[in-house]
Structure 1
Amino acid sequence: MTSNASAAAAPARPYRERLLPGPGLFLALLLLIPGVTLVLMPINSGIALPVGIAVFLLVLLALFLMSPVIAISGGNLTAGRATIPLTELGRVELLGAEGLRAAIGPGLDARSYLLVRGWIHRGVRIENIDAADPAPYWILTTRHPQRLADAIEAAR
């Protein structure tokens, strides 16, 4: 019982997830090194390999920096560039692969806010109860839908 009491007394940790591509894309990007090297070899063989490695690293950095973040902090949910107060959020629905496909396909309301990445196959649909906001709900892909839903509930 001590562990339950300490868990209940502990403040909720803020949630943060960066929606990075999967490892398969990063492995495929390794092909940039020999590709750039082969292109530069006739021009200057001494710089061909270092430039290939530099291009690979720059693309990795760009992918990392351009990947959106889902975060809960300061009473707000931030998804990419959009932010909404947690008090304006209603019910949170977990979406598996089929549910997500239906939610962003035939069941989509065109006014909803989407932060969807094709390499993540599950997510959440969060009801927006703000009467002044035209988006009826947010659909976010996440690798940890249950943790996101729990973090929203804990932060309210």
Structure 2
Amino acid sequence: MSASPSRTPTTAAPAYAERLRLPWWLWLAGLASAALLALEVWMGGDGVRAWLPFAVLLPATVAGLAWLGRIRIAVTDGELRVDDARLPAHFVADVIALDADGRREVLGVGADPLAFVVQRPWVSGAVQVVLDDPADPTPFWVVSTRHPVELAEALLAARDAAR
């Protein structure tokens, strides 16, 4: 019986990486709202009803806010990664950096219902990734990002390297 060599996956350093975290003021507003609700319940009860709202609502709020800020965006290993979704760079036809008005126009009334959208309202910028894949009905991706120009450049460079 021969031992096979162990293989470790090799990943290149990302050309672009970002996490769409919530801004501090949303954390403050969420925690203040949860504390106010727990305080309202505390004022009307005693015993377990007095401390249980704080023990449940505050950790649940922290977990919910952390979950909202979990989305990671990266251009690495010749693909765009948005949370769990992966787009190989050779399927990218074009990348358009969008400001707040451009994002509103792309996602507005005339938006394509087949588009893949990862949008966070607290992030004003975005990129529109136009696809060139005849087997995929998705015409484009719209992804929120705080640095749309840098993401567009990294994705176009990955596309050019893949071709």
Q: Is this a same-fold pair by TM over 0.5?
A: yes
Q: Any idea what SS the aligned residue of 2:80 has? A: strand
Q: How many residues align?
A: 146
How high is the sequence identity, in percent, across the aligned residues? 31
Q: TM-score, normalised by structure 2?
A: 0.74
- Residue in 1 that maps onto 2:16: 15
Amino acid at match of 1:150: E
Residues 96-117 of structure 1 deviation map (CA, whole Å, 9 limit, x = unaligned): 1111111111342221111112
Name the CA distance, whole Å, in 1 between partners of 2:55 and 2:24.
18
Query: Alignment RMSD, CA only?
Result: 2.6
Q: TM-score, normalised by structure 1?
A: 0.77
- Residue in 2 that maps onto 1:134: 137
- Asked whether the 8 Å contact 1:89–1:129 carries over to 2, the reply is yes
- Residue in 1 that maps onto 2:8: none
* Comparing 33-42 and 69-78, the one that deviates more: 33-42
Name the CA distance, whole Å, in 2 between partners of 1:15 and 1:93.
16
Correspondence for 1:43 among 33, 37, 45: 45
Deviant stretches of 4+, over 4 Å: 45-51
Residues 31-60 of structure 1 deviation map (CA, whole Å, 9 limit, x = unaligned): 312321331344346884685266324322
- Asked whether the 8 Å contact 1:121–1:141 carries over to 2, the reply is yes
- Asked whether the 8 Å contact 2:15–2:74 carries over to 1, the reply is yes
Structure 1 unaligned blocks of 5 or more = 1-10
State the Cα distance separating 1:83 from its structure 2 match. Answer: 1.4
